[in-house]
């Protein structure tokens, strides 16, 4: 029987969060949709970062890498090509239209930006929807930004009317008991009918086949992709460690070379600086305490453990990480401190209080990597019926999100960059 065809799109201008979130979904969809629909999966991950192919994809998947963009004070600009931005957008839009038109997906999941950069994805989505049975989903992290900034971005993307026209569902990858983006004013109320909460994409990110590289008890500090993580990494490296404890600092693959060299030059005894880890989840689980920035994927990985964590969020260009850290701290799942007032002494005090303790995070909805495939299977039922497919052997449950424990068998993949 013909495989289900899936496209996962992320625009990718800063960091690796978007592509990592889609990669986690790709593994979950490949693992579970055959069970839920009776059909195997093949797919394309569309990304705007040349680092994406460094991650493992599920069998039957491949990458499409768009010419890159980056943020500047004046907005998006080409990352590498020396062409006007409008020419780059036209090039990316043409590639997107060709990919969707040639691949003919059954399901398209768009990460975060409904129509891409400067609405580059709009024509491709419209043509895909008019060409045949396809279901389109907008996937959103649980926090977008401060409400006024989020609403302005919706308007630039075409507004609620366009989103309702282009998408069959909006998946919010979070727990509304911790943070509800509709109630917070980050998502227009007119989109509420499309929204389904999946829970955090957290449980089911198992440790891979690697081994912990630290010989004894250790603190782990991670600063996401690393492009703006030097300040936190330097502060953490200078913190006094409890006796018998070492410190593993993961600088991230996007930290500038001179900043990485500075960290290594200044690192005191007992502090090890690495650019990345092959198995971040394994090292998070084995740590005695975690210090981290507040990116969605890293926080999800932390939430899948019972290790105490101090989140030091990025404050620019978005308020997203600060809102996430404050919400999860208020719920009792982690601790939170602003970078502007953080000192090595404050970090030392936190470590002396929290190292080796355990945090119960089981009340949170952490099973998004189980719930998202269930929602996908429900959406795909009309497509399967139109294609003449038999009834799936195990139809998706339309009920509320399953318990976090049910996610134990979900596999995201062994390779994790330090983000």
The pLDDT value given to residue 72: 86
pLDDT of the residue at 108: 98
List the chain domain ranges. Answer: 4-202+366-407, 218-354
Q: Which two tokens stand for residue 46?
A: 């569309």
The kind and range of the H/E element at 169 are strand 169-173
For every one of its 419 residues, what pLDDT tens digit does the chain have, with 9 covering 90 and above?
A: 799 999 999 998 777 888 889 999 999 999 999 999 999 999 999 999 988 888 889 999 999 999 999 988 888 999 999 999 999 999 999 999 999 999 999 999 999 999 999 999 999 999 999 998 999 999 999 999 999 999 999 998 899 999 999 999 999 999 999 999 999 999 999 999 999 999 999 988 755 667 888 999 999 999 998 999 999 999 999 999 999 999 999 999 999 999 999 999 999 999 999 999 888 899 999 999 999 999 999 999 999 999 999 999 998 888 999 999 999 999 999 999 999 999 999 999 999 999 999 999 999 999 999 999 999 999 999 878 776 655 555 554 444 343 333 333 333 332 333 33
Say yes or no: do domains 4-202+366-407 and 218-354 share a fold. yes
Burial of 3 from C-beta contacts in 10 A (0-12 / 13-18 / 19+): middle
Class of domain 218-354: alpha beta
How far is it, in rounded angstroms, from Cα 312 to Cα 316? 12
CA dihedral over 157, 162, 164, 167, signed as positive or negative? negative
Question: pTM here?
Answer: 0.90
Instruction: List the one residue out of 150, 152, 87 whose CA is nearest residue 120.
Output: 87
Can you read off the two tokens belonging to residue 242?
A: 């409890």
DSSP string, 197-258: E---B-TT----S-----SS-EEEEE-TTSTT-HHHHHHHHTSPPPTT-EEEEE--TTS-HH
pLDDT, residue 293, reads 97
Q: Are 94 and 88 a contacting pair, CB within 8 Å?
A: no
Q: What pLDDT does residue 279 have?
A: 87
What's the CA angle centered on 170, arms 165 and 171, to 5 degrees? Answer: 165
| C-alpha to C-alpha distance for 143 and 296, rounded to whole angstroms | 9
Determine contact, residues 169/140, Cβ cutoff 8 Å: no
Task: Please report where in the chains the tokens 């943020």 appear, as a residue.
Answer: 71
Radius of gyration of the chain (CA): 21
Q: Give the other-Cβ count within 10 Å of 216's Cβ.
A: 8
Q: Other C-beta atoms within 10 Å of 331: how many?
A: 15
Task: Report the length, in residues, of the chain.
Answer: 419
pLDDT of residue 138: 98
Nearest to 255 by CA among 247, 246, 264: 264
* CATH number attached to the domain at 4-202+366-407: 3.40.50.2000
Q: For residue 253, what are the CA distances in angstroms to 50, 77, 292?
A: 12, 21, 15
| Predicted local distance difference test score (pLDDT) of residue 397 | 46
Closest CA to 405 of 372, 365, 376: 365
- Torsions phi, psi for 211 (to 5 deg): -130, 155
Contact 167, 139 (CB under 8 A): no
CB-count burial class (<10 Å; 0-12, 13-18, 19+) for 211: exposed
Give the Cα-Cα-Cα angle 343, 346, 348 (nearest 5 degrees).
110
**Encoded tokens for 146:** 């401060």
CA–CA gap between residue 51 and residue 360 (Å, rounded): 34
> Which whole-number Å values give the CA distances from 35 to 28, 31, 48, 61, 370, in the listed order?
11, 8, 31, 18, 12
pLDDT of residue 206: 58
């Amino acid at each position: 029987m013909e495989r289900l065809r899936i496209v996962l799109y992320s625009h990718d201008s800063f960091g690796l969060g978007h592509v990592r979130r889609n990669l986690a979904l790709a593994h979950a969809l490949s693992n579970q949709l055959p069970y839920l629909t009776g059909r195997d999966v093949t797919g394309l991950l569309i990304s705007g970062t040349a680092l994406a192919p460094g991650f493992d994809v599920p069998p039957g998947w491949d990458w499409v890498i768009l010419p890159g963009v980056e943020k500047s004070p004046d907005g998006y600009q080409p990352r590498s090509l020396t062409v006007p931005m409008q020419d780059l957008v036209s090039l990316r839009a043409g590639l997107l239209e060709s990919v969707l038109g040639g691949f003919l997906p059954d399901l398209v999941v768009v990460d975060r930006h409904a129509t891409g950069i400067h609405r580059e994805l709009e024509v491709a989505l419209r043509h895909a929807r008019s060409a045949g049975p396809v279901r389109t989903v907008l996937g959103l992290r649980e926090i977008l930004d401060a409400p006024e900034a989020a609403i302005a971005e919706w308007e630039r993307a075409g507004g609620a009317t366009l989103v309702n026209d282009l998408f069959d569902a909006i998946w919010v990858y979070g727990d509304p008991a911790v943070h509800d983006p509709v109630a917070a004013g980050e998502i227009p109320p007119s989109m509420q009918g499309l929204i389904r909460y999946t829970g955090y994409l957290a449980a089911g990110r198992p440790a891979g086949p690697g081994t912990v590289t630290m010989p004894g008890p250790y603190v782990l500090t991670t600063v996401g992709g690393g492009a703006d993580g030097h300040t936190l990494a330097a502060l953490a490296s200078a913190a006094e460690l409890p006796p018998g404890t070492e410190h593993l600092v993961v600088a991230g693959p996007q930290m500038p070379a001179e900043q990485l060299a500075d960290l290594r030059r200044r690192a005191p005894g007992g502090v090890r600086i690495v650019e990345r880890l092959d198995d971040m989840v394994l090292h998070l689980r084995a740590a005695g305490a975690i210090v981290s920035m507040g990116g969605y994927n890293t926080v999800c990985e932390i939430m899948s453990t019972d290790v105490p964590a101090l989140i030091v969020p990025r404050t620019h260009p978005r308020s997203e990480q600060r809102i996430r850290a404050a919400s999860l701290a208020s719920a009792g799942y982690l601790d939170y401190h602003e970078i502007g007032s953080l000192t090595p002494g404050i970090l030392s005090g936190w470590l002396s209080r929290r190292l080796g303790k355990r945090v119960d995070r089981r009340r949170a909805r952490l099973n998004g990597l189980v719930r998202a495939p269930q929602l996908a299977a429900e959406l795909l039922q009309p497509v399967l019926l139109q294609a003449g497919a038999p009834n799936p052997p195990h139809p998706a449950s339309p009920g509320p999100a399953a318990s976090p424990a049910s996610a134990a068998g979900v596999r995201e993949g062994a390779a994790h960059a330090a983000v």
